[in-house]
Structure 1
């Protein structure tokens, strides 16, 4: 009887050991990707992460090893947001299956700020790219939060307090392809404009196409054209200020080149449309649909813009 009882206890102990999840932190066997993804709560689209969610206290025992994040995602996850010597705790939040890529959301908690990252993976679990999608605790009081709709469009919203009852809001909309490449498709903003200074969200993108470049019509009106994913598409950013700032407009998205030196843009979410006509060193635009959501009611996306000479890079 004693021998039988000892055998039962031994089998039970072995089964318990086998059922323990491999954590990769001191375990006899390394963590597998299946183990790693089980640390994330399954989620679905649409998805939101806001400041309140980011600030929720999570037990330190639920933090994931940095080594595991480096192994399955990237060792540069928090680069640029935290110092090299700053101790940062990483918490797995949500995993979501998308149409083209899958997502993993990780929360990083440092001494001065808390940040959310969206990691893109292919359908086999290979890491592709990451986006900084949420942040609280920045020195200037800026708060960043994000939503992803059912069509996998990522909207990153940035709020900044300008006074007791004044808040500027900037919304950047992104699309992600199957390679994890992120493309800005539209920007909305109610923030103030500094005279003589324009923030161009696509300024650093490639400009190898013959029509790519910056076109201006005065100090506060800009059309920026950048290369698309192929020779038939382009990315653009338009901002203008007319009548001493009483009428403003701003729009960004992805257009298509059509016959001749023409291009067009059609907003998938509204009737807004823009026609582009390129010529030697110039571009003219006009509305082909109602774009009132992106401008004042007394002005339109129209006019002629002259191309600026690109500054030559200094040789090292």
Structure 2
């Protein structure tokens, strides 16, 4: 009887030891589920900025060779020299409507780069794009944003003379095979950093509150007529702290009691309150809109309505 009990005890110890083996260690290869578990799960909208890439991560979080085999061995190609000793870190994994996304940080001596990798619904690697960076040779920094409709925006900013900067925004649609299609490009041009591209500029502005409200060269709240008298289209863009903190948001709001308006994002907690008065509008956040702005600034402040240019007869 004692021998039988000892045998059962030995089997139990062996089973416990086996269950405590680290995934991917020894003779047990890393599974795709193990690989996924390395990334923080997230939802859309998603934003990755140079400031986020500059944050130091613990070496214990680094992706090893076993993890990188689920991606590609040419991940950092074209961005780093052979002798930089690039380290890779897992940032985020997000389920998309067409493909799934994993975001990987590559840290070298010259810069840090955030890669947006596309995987099919079965976990097969398809492609990657360079989403964000802390600075290339010409001083250009880039940031990445994916909205709730899975549209990918890559923003590139190059410092010019003085406090001026040139901004270029490329919008992409992701295809099921991992390729991307360029939908639209916005650019203020390399010689005129004071120009703002307004995507709703040509829409009707017959409502008494419709028009463009500004606060300095690079800050605008644009209001246009909605589908009816109770709704409005808006576009907000701002640049604060000498261009170090920016925000951009567009959508459809609705008018409420008095001279007030409100917008609430259906896909996130972001909300904006609009207070209209004679020739002015004041805005403030009524929800977290961090996916659409820098972490050190907010959608807030007062803006003065610009006089509309009269059309020549």
* Interval of TM-score (by shorter of Structure 1 and Structure 2): 0.5 to 0.7
Aligned to 2:27: 28
SS at match of 1:163: coil
Under a length normalisation based on structure 2, what TM-score does the superposition of the two structures give?
0.58
How far the C-alpha of 1:13 sits from its partner, in A, is: 5.8
Aligned ranges 1:1-316 → 2 under 5 Å: 8=9, 11-12=12-13, 14-23=15-24, 27-69=26-68, 71-193=69-191
Structure 1 residues 13 and 160, CA gap change in structure 2 (3 angstroms): farther
Structure 1 portions without partners, runs of 5+? 194-244, 252-266, 273-289, 299-316
Structure 1 residues 6 and 191, CA gap change in structure 2 (3 angstroms): farther
SS at match of 1:72: coil
SS at match of 2:149: coil
How far the C-alpha of 1:16 sits from its partner, in A, is: 4.5
How far the C-alpha of 1:141 sits from its partner, in A, is: 2.2
Distance in 2 separating the partners of 1:177 and 1:81: 24
CA RMSD in angstroms comes to: 3.5
Is contact 1:187–1:250 with CA below 8 Å preserved after alignment?
Answer: no
How far the C-alpha of 1:68 sits from its partner, in A, is: 2.8
SS at match of 1:81: coil
> After superposition, what is the alpha-carbon deviation per residue over 1:133-186, rounded to whole angstroms, capped at 9, x for unaligned?
010142332211111001000011111211331121111111101111101111
Structure 2 portions without partners, runs of 5+? 204-224, 226-234, 236-307
How far the C-alpha of 1:18 sits from its partner, in A, is: 1.7
Distance in 2 separating the partners of 1:89 and 1:249: 38
Structure 1 residues 98 and 163, CA gap change in structure 2 (3 angstroms): same
Is contact 2:51–2:134 with CA below 8 Å preserved after alignment?
Answer: no
Structure 1 residues 158 and 29, CA gap change in structure 2 (3 angstroms): same
> After superposition, what is the alpha-carbon deviation per residue over 1:14-46, rounded to whole angstroms, capped at 9, x for unaligned?
3253244423xx522211111111111111111
How far the C-alpha of 1:271 sits from its partner, in A, is: 6.3
> After superposition, what is the alpha-carbon deviation per residue over 1:202-237, rounded to whole angstroms, capped at 9, x for unaligned?
xxxxxxxxxxxxxxxxxxxxxxxxxxxxxxxxxxxx
Distance in 2 separating the partners of 1:83 and 1:124: 33
SS at match of 1:53: helix
How far the C-alpha of 1:270 sits from its partner, in A, is: 8.0
